[in-house]
Amino acid sequence: MSFFSAPIEKMDLQDAQKLMERSMHEITNSFQKLPGSAMLIRYIQSSYQDDPVRSAIELILVIFFVRYLLSPSYATHNNNFVTLSEEEIDDLVDEWTPEPLVAPQTAFEEADAERLPVIVGPTGPKTKLSNGRTVTNLASYNFYNFVGNEQVKEKAIQTLRTYGVGPCGPPQFYGTQDVHMKTEADIASCLGTEGCIVYAQAFSTISSVIPAFCKRGDVIVADRAVNYSIRKGLQICRSTIRYYEHNDMEDLERVLQKVVKEQAKKPLTRRFIVTEGLSETVGDCVNLPKLVELKLRYKFRLMLDETWSFGVLGRTGRGLTEAQNVDASQVDMLIGSLAGPLCAGGGFCAGTNDIVEHQRITAASYTYSAALPAMLATTASETLNMLQTNPEVLVQCRENIKTMRAQLDPRSDWVYCTSALENPVMLLVLKSDVINSRRLSIGEQERVLQECVDETLANGVLITRLKSMPVAPGANGKDEQWKLQPALKVCITTGLSKKEIEKAGITIRHAITKVLTRKSSSKLALPAAS
């Protein structure tokens, strides 16, 4: 049996070999007919001779790719899933209560909103309210009365007729117009920087500049009292945040030393100092020469928010750098607003050309927002030029500030002013003995100051309170305990004469005295009324 089976097995093997040879020959002929096959064969032969390891890796990848294509699809195991009936699903849906998008208003906030005065017609030094009364307006940032300036109005109207209302597109997508480029050039020339970039929204300017340069792993040392816009930028960038006491250069140096020591053995990261020229929440001014000295000593970059100092400080309103005689090139980024003293809209960031161009592709509010309306850009250029050519208006504003301070700060036993001497936004906070004697909490201070605002309005003068959005829980780490000090806000304007400012100051002082003296006699004794 084995004698006959052996030839048969041998014949089968020979047939199989012939079949394989014939198949390989057909495959080879078919492959050679394909365009580029000869080139591929030469590539494989040469690559194997020159680098056999690479050929082996490529072969493994090809095998893996073929196996991946031929492998069956898979699904996750459903063993751990809980199967719910339709009734149980309906019950869960009915019981679910979504979190509110915003926190509900408190009773005090609702009452405050109902009492808000409504202005009828254009704003100005004298404003008409919806109830028919005309009041003295000290609640507007119209410091130089540019809102009522006919030259500014005419320039805005001409621009509106030429360019229309809005550019209808982001700056990088046909939104940039020649007036935007002129405004950027005007601001850069005014500040003495290489370049400038203009944003469409003042609030979103610094909250976009910070994330454009600061990323996770970078270190930011910020003033504890920075405004809400800066805090949002700090929250978005996800960098490591360290705070120092407000305008305390000794504490700043302590924090910088600590950061340098902590980062000594770590990979090199970007480091920034972020602060304001004129503080929005306190009103005082930072020591810029000392700040620049510390920045250079410890190798940090400096972001300076000049929202309230640009157009206010300095002989011609160039801001803190002019007021304290600091070269603008010493500040890496000068950020400011065009919506305050200049009575236009939008914001800007000035610095070197590299800093400016980097923001054009990385700053969120520049890339994804429509460009600034042309008439606001020309208004900013016009009012900036008026400050440069007519610095007497700044002198007049500072004289009015002195007149108002003379009626409030030294003569009132209830409040004192925390703002810098040249700051047209006067912040009046309750004195510590008044707070301690009445044991007033932050909320109670706000209610007392709101009564002062209402009493002042009843006597024909419109002022307001310092208000800010609360900091989101967890947004600022160890700084969540920082609380905004309640204050009255009085905005000075050149649209009123010295006599009108003096009269308004007396009205405010008397209103504060009246509110605080009519409080319950059960409280501890207060200082004598003025």
The tens digit of pLDDT for each residue in 292-330 reads 999 999 999 999 999 999 999 999 999 999 999 999 999
User: Of the candidates 297, 283, 280, 305, which has an alpha carbon nearest to the alpha carbon of residue 208?
Assistant: 305
Q: In the prediction, which pLDDT does 425 show?
A: 97
Beta bridge partners of 195: 351
**Where does 392-517 sit in CATH, by number?**
3.90.1150.170
Q: For residues 488 and 409, is the Cβ–Cβ distance under 8 A?
A: no
Residue 116: what are its φ and ψ, rounded to 5°?
A: -60, 125
Residues of the chain with CATH 3.90.1150.170: 392-517
Rounded distance between C-alpha atoms, residue 46 and residue 284, angstroms: 75
Enter the tokens of residue 195.
């370049």
Rounded distance between C-alpha atoms, residue 292 and residue 296, angstroms: 6
Q: In the prediction, which pLDDT does 4 show?
A: 43
Q: Exposed (0-12), middle (13-18) or buried (19+): which is 283, by Cβ within 10 Å?
A: buried
Q: What angle do CA 17, 20, 24 make, to 5 degrees?
A: 140
Q: In the prediction, which pLDDT does 155 show?
A: 94
Residues of the chain with CATH 3.40.640.10: 149-389
Rounded distance between C-alpha atoms, residue 344 and residue 338, angstroms: 5
Output Rg (C-alpha) for the chain, integer angstroms: 35
**Where does 149-389 sit in CATH, by number?**
3.40.640.10
Terminal alpha carbon distance of the chain: 133
Tell me the three state secondary structure of residue 503.
helix
The tens digit of pLDDT for each residue in 415-463 reads 999 999 999 999 999 999 988 888 888 889 999 999 999 999 999 999 9
- Provide the 8-state DSSP code for 102: S
Q: In the prediction, which pLDDT does 187 show?
A: 97
Q: Which residues neighbour 472 within 8 Å (Cβ) at sequence distance 6 or greater?
A: 235
Q: Is the dihedral of CA 19, 20, 26, 30 positive or negative?
A: positive
Decide the pairing of beta strands 333-337 and 347-351: antiparallel
Q: Which residues neighbour 346 within 8 Å (Cβ) at sequence distance 6 or greater?
A: 198, 199, 200, 201, 202, 205, 337, 338, 339, 372, 376, 377, 380
DSSP per position, 108-171: HHHHHHHH---EES--SSEEEETTS-EEEE-SS--TT-GGG-HHHHHHHHHHHHHH-S---S-I
Enter the tokens of residue 383.
């009012």
Tell me the three state secondary structure of residue 471.
coil
Rounded distance between C-alpha atoms, residue 229 and residue 235, angstroms: 10
Beta bridge partners of 271: 219
Rounded distance between C-alpha atoms, residue 394 and residue 494, angstroms: 9
Rounded distance between C-alpha atoms, residue 303 and residue 291, angstroms: 11
Q: In the prediction, which pLDDT does 470 show?
A: 63
pLDDT lower than 50: segments of the chain: 1-8, 473, 475-477, 520-522, 524-530
H or E element in which residue 210 lies: helix 203-213
Q: In the prediction, which pLDDT does 35 show?
A: 82
Tell me the three state secondary structure of residue 431.
coil
The tens digit of pLDDT for each residue in 184-241 reads 999 999 999 999 999 999 999 999 999 999 999 999 999 999 999 999 999 999 999 9
Q: For residues 239 and 208, is the Cβ–Cβ distance under 8 A?
A: no
Enter the tokens of residue 35.
């365009």
- Provide the 8-state DSSP code for 278: B
